[in-house]
A and B are shown apart, each in its own frame.
Chain A
Amino acid sequence: MNAPLPGPLADNPSLDRWLAFPAPGKVTVFTGRVEFGQGVLTAMAQIASDELDVAIERIAVVSGDTALTANEGYTAGSLSMQGGGMALAQACADVRALFLAQAAAIAGCAASELEVRDGRFLRNGASTGQDYWTLAGAIDLTVKASGIGARKPAAERKMIGASQRRLDLPDKVFGAPAFIHDMRLDGMRHARVVRQPHRGATIAAIDEAAIRRAAKAPIEFVRNGNFLAILGDDDVAVEAAAASAATHVTWSNVERPTPLQQEANWLLQRPSLDRVIGSAEPADAQGRERFEATYTKPYLAHASLAPSCGLALYRDGRLTVWTHCQGVFPLRAALARTLKLDPSFMTVIHVSGAGCYGHNGADDAAADAAVIAMQKPGKPIRVRWRREEEFVYEPKAPAMVVKVRALLDKDGKPSDWTAEIWSGNHNGRPGGGNPLLAGEALPDQVPLPPAGEVPEANGGGATRNAVPLYDIPASRIIHHLVHETPVRVSSLRGLGAMTNVYALEGAIDELAERAGADPVAYRLSILSEPRARAVIEKAAAMANWQADAPAGTGVGRGIAFARYKNRAGYAAVVVELEVEEEIKLRHIWCAADAGLAINPDGVINQIEGGIIQSASWVLKEQVRFDNGVAAIDWDSYPVLKFSEVPEIDIELINIRADGPLGVGELTAGPTAAAIGNAVAHALGARIRDLPLTRERIMAALLKS
């Protein structure tokens, strides 16, 4: 009896969607997961190397191509190894079993008498004359995976679990073409879109002559409804023309977001779709020992270092699109809706971009290029967004308000927990039926899908990590999905987990203080899950945690913990910082149990990146509105700098576990909350609104 196939393999069972033997000594691995700096392709090569018994140098990885790879939806949710990695592992194991059976038949022995060494089949250590490549012609890889192949036992793995250098890093260190931005196709033309301020805004007037003067080189206009693009052979000219269009194109029916709307609390007054997940709130809450506090997080930007870029070519009735988006199949479906084109006439191919950390402008830039390419067939069209365009038009991570209400037992421990959440959705991706920006401007608009949020089965969006993992007899989430937001919103690393963990781990700290207990001891007193306890104990030990450190000294320490999605990886973070007018991070320690680490060094790199990005969000980041999105560049949206990054120590627990649990989003919540808790310890007063600005520090000091 074979084990059930990993989900992506069950969805895409044909083995030729996972690997091929294209030439003697060569293996091509296909993965629907895509690289954006997390090292996923290297990990896939490691998996295939072990499961096939082929040297990693022989393996090339092809990723995210609708013509070649499996449809694995989005590369998101810290699921690449759990889903796609384990699917590839089983596909390789099945292929290995098919080849072993064939080699055994030829050798006239049982498959169990053969071993595979770097792709060659040996019997009693001697060559059988057969290898993957001699047999490849005789074996049909269009057959379906069955789970017949046994996965490599842990003790025999050589590559899985061993730190491996990233395959993509040399190109990036030597300045080779490494990104979609570096693609240069024959006859390629450059384009920029004059962005519609929002759905429903209409072009009132275009001063074409003024824009042509600004371009200083020949340009042409491409117009369809309220979709307006500038096209030319010179990238500098189209950039200058697009920049000038801000003053030379006027729009009607424009509503711009206001400073009032930028605050998370604005959400409290808005219409929402409401639901309760879990039991009803107890009716007798009044009069009982209770705790209540409200935490907020503002709109955030992905702030990818590279503005989004897309290329498209429409030729001979076929559309090819190159994109750095997180899901080529969902993008193809969205492009089909936008362009009214059968997806079978379209190929969407992933090419690396800069780190995106969620749904940024990548899909929309690809759609821009596709719309222009359809109107200008025959030549490749390259659209590269301007920096301001990326900041203003990429989807934002939604602002959130989280109210925590807890009832306490006689020992000051929570006996009932409510998280009441107000948020826009974290689900604006085109795969959910949401329109691409270009599609909103075209005459025949794609209708908006019904308001929705990431389902609980996928870990939830705004509700992600809202319920504590602690031993609390009753808990619930009251979720207000604010379906109309002042700006487009979607997913950013961890979705709602950062805000929810900031709130709940802040609340737990407040409860510990109220109970007169040490934050580490208090957590351990209400937490029975062994793997959860282990990371807290480990992080506290790494930091040499002192239970009785006095509060309010200007130097503080805080701890926070979460199990991502309450079902994936575990992480505990300890932060030491000092506060005067601003916060200076001194040291961060993290203990993580992310299960099996395919590439331990890669796991640590991802965790460290997640810590630093979360620290940046909490200390510095907010998208402000002022007659429009006011975050337009790195001055108006500063992020953490080299001199502001603390020393960070990370230890992994359980890296030989059965399966991987995911790492990319593991530390978003615990880092944010540990910083908040350390600030509270340093100040003797808590700041419940993010980011932790100088104004809020001064206000907290005045209160304390």
Chain B
Amino acid sequence: MAIDFTVNGKPVSVSLDNEETPLLAVLRDRLGLVGTRFGCGLEQCGACTVLIDGKPEKCCAKPAWSVAGKSVVTVEGLGSAERPHPLQQAFLDLQAGQCGYCLSGILVAAKALLDENPKPTRAEIAAALDGNICRCGSHNRILKAVEKAAAMMQGARA
């Protein structure tokens, strides 16, 4: 089976021998996009969160064929060291992370939130991130970083 979709704006075509191959395995092992992390394979921890047609979704158990014709955005698509997304900049500014394994999924989930709701409350940010586990206890810095990114993006729009 061959499927076509876009990743971070670029069209890709992937042939699949096994129709159960998860999107995460395609991203990491076929496309070399290792920023999206494997945490559980059960769609529970959120380390593998990507945007699919703009919506945050866990992709560790989602068959890759299900994104045929769709747009996928991973953490690598948010920004780069040269051109960081405001979320990435805010996470660095506030040193929001410890081991950092959860951050890719959290950044993507936070982007989805800010796309929908540019001025979220602290409680709304927390609710949006409840599907993402952080085990190191960086929660408060992460919440504050999302607030800071929202403010930076508001400032840029003004």
Contact = CB atoms under 8 A, between A and B. Distances in A.
Interface residues of B, number: 61
A174 B35 contact: yes
Nearest to A390: B40
B143 interface: yes
Contact of B21 (A236, A352, A609): A236
Contacts of A352: 99
A165 B39 CA distance: 26
A173 B91 contact: yes
Interface string B1-41: 00000000000000001101110010011001111111111
B92 A169 contact: yes
B95 A306 contact: no
A384 B40 CA distance: 11
Given A172-B103, A352-B99, A643 B21 contact: no
A473 interface: no
B100 A169 contact: yes
Interface string A582-620: 000000000000000000011001101111110010000
A240 B20 contact: yes
A24 to B, nearest CB: 25
Given A174-B88, A182-B34, A633-B40, A305 B101 contact: yes
Contacts of A307: 38-40
A305 B20 contact: no
B133 interface: yes
Nearest to A170: B81
B140 interface: yes
B98 interface: yes
Most A-side CB within 10 Å, residue of B33, B99, B103: B99
A306 B135 CA distance: 10
A641 B106 CA distance: 13
Nearest to B99: A37
B139 A306 contact: no
B84 to A, nearest CB: 7
Contacts of A37: 97-101, 136
A248 interface: no
Contact of A608 (B35, B40, B75, B140): B140
Given A37-B100, A633-B40, A642 B18 contact: no
Q: What DSSP secondary structure best describes chain A's contact surface?
A: loop
Given A174-B75, A181-B37, A634-B42, A643 B98 contact: no
Most B-side CB within 10 Å, residue of A239, A613, A634: A634
Interface string B74-107: 1110111100100010011001011111111001
A634 B134 CA distance: 12
A168 B101 CA distance: 12
B36 to A, nearest CB: 7
Nearest to B106: A642
A165 B32 CA distance: 28
Contacts of A174: 35, 75-76, 79-81, 84, 88
Contact of B74 (A175, A235, A355, A605): A175
Interface of B: 17-18, 20-22, 25, 28-29, 32-42, 44-45, 47, 74-76, 78-81, 84, 88, 91-92, 95, 97-104, 107, 123, 125-127, 129-130, 132-143
Interface of A: 36-39, 165-166, 168-179, 181-182, 184, 216-217, 234-237, 239-240, 303-307, 352-355, 357, 384, 386-387, 601-602, 605-606, 608-613, 616, 633-635, 639-643, 645, 647-648
